[in-house]
């Protein structure tokens, strides 16, 4: 009898999921050669229609970080190849290379070389390669996966928050200061933080610069929230969302509007959907089906990017070697 009741409710759940309407993408990108994983949006402030979406393509020998225009076409001259398993990528603005020179930057993890790479954007000049998790004696604990950049709104300092393929139950994430001095660009370890359940892994990280929070997906148990500024301490502020996911909790993106308005958008990977939480208090709002398969990474901007994306853009990885672009208008966030 219990089995029949279980089956009945399981059928109801499946039926409800099937009825969730699909929101068609505005653009589907060209395919990459190997295994798409994580996107990052660079907004061209001078000419938004020339903004670029970068996406990682995982391969141990000839991985890449591919650049796409807003029509989803690969920009070959701004794409990087021959990378050893690029995992995740992020963008930040106005990094001080010298006292008088600033540039936007892209940072991505190169898992098979236990390092991160930093490039200027949009000219794609390499700014440095940096080994990470160096104090670990076990090579398995040195392999970086997730990356997110935090820009302190008061000081303008930029730091890099990294997760890895394997890690301990305490101090799974490392945060590095990224800075430039007379000897060049360097990183410096600021802290180790972040609880891990021990289930699955931690990959997805997203930082809310304006509100000062970092979120990451402890894939088997929920979304964890901490202060992004190390000076505010390492106390866990929240753990939420566990009941809203089928299995793996994956990519995270933050759609920020004025004040504390906006959404934390998280991929429910095996359900092929996305969950939306209020930026203000992390309460659940809705689930959307955007037509993607097995989404790992996602990114979002609320900036206007021309006629196709007049109120912003949401980008999600699709498990067919490509990415999907959705106009924020289609997601009805406001």
The whole-angstrom separation of Cα 216 and Cα 296 is 13
The whole-angstrom separation of Cα 226 and Cα 212 is 9
| Rounded average pLDDT over 210-228 | 98
DSSP string, 294-325: S---EEEE-S--SSSSTT-EEEEEETTTEEEE
Q: Where are the beta strands (DSSP E) in 152-281?
A: 158-164, 170-181, 184-195, 202-208, 213-218, 222-227, 238-240, 249-256, 262-268, 273-278
Q: For position 115, which CATH number holds?
A: 2.120.10.30
For residues 45 and 16, which has the higher predicted lDDT (pLDDT)? 45
Question: pTM of the entire structure?
Answer: 0.94
For residues 228 and 11, which has the higher predicted lDDT (pLDDT)? 228
Q: Which pair of structure tokens corresponds to residue 15?
A: 């039926």
| pLDDT computed for residue 87 by the predictor | 98
| Rounded average pLDDT over 223-240 | 98
- Tell me the longest C-alpha to C-alpha distance in the chain: 74
Contacts of 205 (CB under 8 A, 6+ apart): 88, 146, 147, 148, 161, 162, 163, 173, 214, 215, 216, 217, 252
| pLDDT computed for residue 5 by the predictor | 42
Q: Nearest-CA neighbor of 250 among 106, 91, 36, 98?
A: 36
The whole-angstrom separation of Cα 60 and Cα 319 is 18
Cβ(43)–Cβ(51) under 8 Å? yes
| Residue 12 reports pLDDT greater than 50 | no
Cβ(298)–Cβ(253) under 8 Å? yes
| Rounded average pLDDT over 123-135 | 98
Residues paired with residue 107 on neighbouring β-strands, in sequence order: 90, 118
Angstrom CA distances, 155 to 87, 99, 127, 158, 204, stand at 29, 14, 22, 9, 26
| pLDDT computed for residue 20 by the predictor | 87
Q: Which domain holds residue 44?
A: 2-331
The mean of the pLDDT values for the chain is 94
| Residue 14 reports pLDDT greater than 50 | no
| Residue 13 reports pLDDT greater than 50 | no
With cut-offs at 50, 70 and 90, classify the pLDDT of residue 18. Answer: low
- pLDDT, tens only, 59-92: 999 999 999 999 999 999 999 999 999 999 999 9
> Structurally, how many domains does the chain consist of?
1
| Residue 4 reports pLDDT greater than 50 | no
| pLDDT computed for residue 334 by the predictor | 75
| Rounded average pLDDT over 117-128 | 98
């Amino acid at each position: 009898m219990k089995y029949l009741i279980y089956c009945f409710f399981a059928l109801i759940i499946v039926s409800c999921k099937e009825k969730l309407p699909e929101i068609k993408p505005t653009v589907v990108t060209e395919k990459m050669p190997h295994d798409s994983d994580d996107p990052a949006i660079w907004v061209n402030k001078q000419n938004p229609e020339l903004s670029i979406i970068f996406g990682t393509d995982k391969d141990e020998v000839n991985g890449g970080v591919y650049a796409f225009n807003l029509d989803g076409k690969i920009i070959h001259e701004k794409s990087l190849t021959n990378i050893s398993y690029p995992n995740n990528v992020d963008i930040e603005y106005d990094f001080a290379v010298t006292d008088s020179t600033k540039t936007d930057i892209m940072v991505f993890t190169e898992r098979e070389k236990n390092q991160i790479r930093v490039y200027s954007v949009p000219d794609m000049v390499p700014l440095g390669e940096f080994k990470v998790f160096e104090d670990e004696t076990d090579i398995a604990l040195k392999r970086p996966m997730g990356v997110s950049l935090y820009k302190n709104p008061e000081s303008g300092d930029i730091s890099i928050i990294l997760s890895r393929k394997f890690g301990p139950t305490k101090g799974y994430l490392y945060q590095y200061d990224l800075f430039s001095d007379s000897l060049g660009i360097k990183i410096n370890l600021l802290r180790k933080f972040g609880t891990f359940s021990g289930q699955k892994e931690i990959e997805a990280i997203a930082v809310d610069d304006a509100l000062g929070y970092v979120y990451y997906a402890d894939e088997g148990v929920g979304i964890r929230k901490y202060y992004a500024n190390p000076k505010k301490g390492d106390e866990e502020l929240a753990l939420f969302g566990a009941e809203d996911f089928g299995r793996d909790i994956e990519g995270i993106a933050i759609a920020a509007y004025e004040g504390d308005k906006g959404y934390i958008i998280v991929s429910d990977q095996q359900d092929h959907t996305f969950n939306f939480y209020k930026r203000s208090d992390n309460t659940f709002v809705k689930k959307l089906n955007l037509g993607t398969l097995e989404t790992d990474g996602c990114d979002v901007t609320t900036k206007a990017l021309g006629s196709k994306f007049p109120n912003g853009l949401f980008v999600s990885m699709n498990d067919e070697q490509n990415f999907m672009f959705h106009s924020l208008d289609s997601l009805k966030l406001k």
